[in-house]
Amino acid sequence: MIIAIDGPAASGKGTLAKRLAAHYGLPHLDTGLLYRAVARVLMDFDHKLDDDAAAVRAAQALEPSRLDDPRLRGREMGEAASVVAAIPAVRAALTEWQRGFARRAPGAVLDGRDIGTVICPDAQVKIFVTATAEERARRRFRELAGRGETVTYETVLDDIRRRDARDSGRSAAPLAAAADARLLDTTSLDIEQAVRAAIGFVEAVRREEG
């Protein structure tokens, strides 16, 4: 069983994906880490983030161990990843990496922005997780502040809106809900409520498939 979870930044899709993976005993891949890792390589070697050739080389040589780098989790890397992810050749280089992960038995849970539309269009379960920009900014602000990062809510909200525009407007695999995805608006839900709703979606699909 492949579960594809898509949505904008700070919608809760990552936490939801981890919980679903644990519930169903499936491996989980946060595909956003792939783009953060590529951006990290570029920054480490003083390449510009819009250097297409260097970004593609980094994507093609990406090692799974790089996804464990704690530096990938900060606000700066989220912004950098959004820039790198807009490069069509980078997305193409990472597509088979992600599909290979999803194809392994007994399946997987993948979260990102184009899982249900591009990476795994045949996934049995597709969920598009969303929330208002203001609520997502509040969540991200609390997360960053909890890590000790010095940032304001207004700055985080600006980042969220800028990333939404970039992710939705890019030519390659823009952020969008698959036509057959189930929408989960988490604006007024806590994580436990969101997990219950998502499990309900998965179980409904399993019943439909008999």
> In the chain, what are the domain boundaries?
2-196
Please report, as a single letter, which amino acid is at residue 177.
Answer: A
Residues of the binding site for ATP? 7-15
Number of DSSP helices (H) and strands (E) in the chain, helices first: 8, 5
Supply 33's token pair: 């880490």
What is the Cα–Cα distance from 81 to 36, expressed in whole angstroms?
5
What pLDDT shows up at residue 199? 98
Quote the pTM value: 0.90
Share of the chain above pLDDT 90, in %: 86
What is the Cα–Cα distance from 34 to 40, expressed in whole angstroms?
10
* pLDDT, tens only, 82-95: 899 989 999 999 99
Which position has the token pair 């904008």?
8
Residues of the binding site? 7-15
pLDDT at position 43 over 80: yes
What is the Cα–Cα distance from 109 to 111, expressed in whole angstroms?
7
Average pLDDT of the residues in 98-113: 96
What pLDDT shows up at residue 83? 92
pLDDT at position 210 over 80: no
What is the Cα–Cα distance from 186 to 183, expressed in whole angstroms?
10
Average pLDDT of the residues in 60-73: 92
Q: Average model confidence (pLDDT) for the chain?
A: 94
* pLDDT, tens only, 109-146: 999 999 999 999 999 999 999 999 999 999 999 999 99
Closest C-alpha to 95, from 67, 123, 114: 114
What pLDDT shows up at residue 151? 92
H helix runs in the chain, sequence order:
13-24, 32-44, 52-60, 75-84, 88-103, 133-146, 153-169, 191-209
CB atoms within 10 A of CB 68: 9
Q: Which fold has domain 2-196?
A: Rossmann fold (3.40.50)
Average pLDDT of the residues in 178-207: 96
